[in-house]
Amino acid sequence: MTRVDFYILPADQRLSPIDYTARLVEKAFRRGHEIFVFTRDTGQTEALSAALWQRPDSFLAHGCGPGQGHQPLQLCHQEQPGQHEDVMVNLATNIPPFFSRFHRVAEIVPGDPESRARCRDKFRFYRERGYALDTHNI
């Protein structure tokens, strides 16, 4: 069964969801995981792609969208995850219908009150369906 981790960013918003996701993805990638990052929209996909290029100590090769072939790290806001089923990082406001095909799901919780309320709804959704949940205060 899918394990779901919630990464709760500071309320002062000193750490953006994009910056934290880039760090989390790098850590998982270095540990040999294949990662699918589900983003909110094209702008968020492009921002994360740029952040992955700008890491001072590394660059993470990745694909964005269809026609990229299989990439161990894929960023997308509207496509199905293809062959990915290891780790999904969810930056979108909704829970994608294909989340349960993954071994792990990482929900990034921004510091603003509106985003936190949405993420509490996500937490309830997963809990009511019996998924293993964990929270990490960042």
Going by C-alpha positions, the residue among 91, 86, 89, 35 that lies closest to residue 63 is 35
- Provide the angle, in degrees to the nearest 10, between the axes of the packed helices 42-53 and 17-30: 60
Cβ neighbors of 100 (< 8 A, separation 6 or more) are: 2
Say what the pLDDT of residue 125 is: 98
pTM listed for this prediction: 0.88
> What is the C-alpha to C-alpha distance for residues 15 and 70, in angstroms, rounded to an integer?
30
Q: Which domain holds residue 16?
A: 3-137
Say what the pLDDT of residue 60 is: 60
Look up residue 25 and give its two tokens: 């993805």
Say what the pLDDT of residue 92 is: 95
Say what the pLDDT of residue 82 is: 72
Question: pLDDT (tens digit, 0 to 9) for every residue of the chain, 138 residues total?
Answer: 999 999 999 998 788 999 999 999 999 998 999 999 999 998 998 899 888 887 666 656 555 655 555 677 888 887 677 777 899 999 999 999 999 999 999 999 999 999 999 999 999 999 999 999 999 999
Look up residue 69 and give its two tokens: 């072939």
> What is the C-alpha to C-alpha distance for residues 119 and 127, in angstroms, rounded to an integer?
12
Q: Looking at the 3D structure of the chain, how many domains does it have?
A: 1
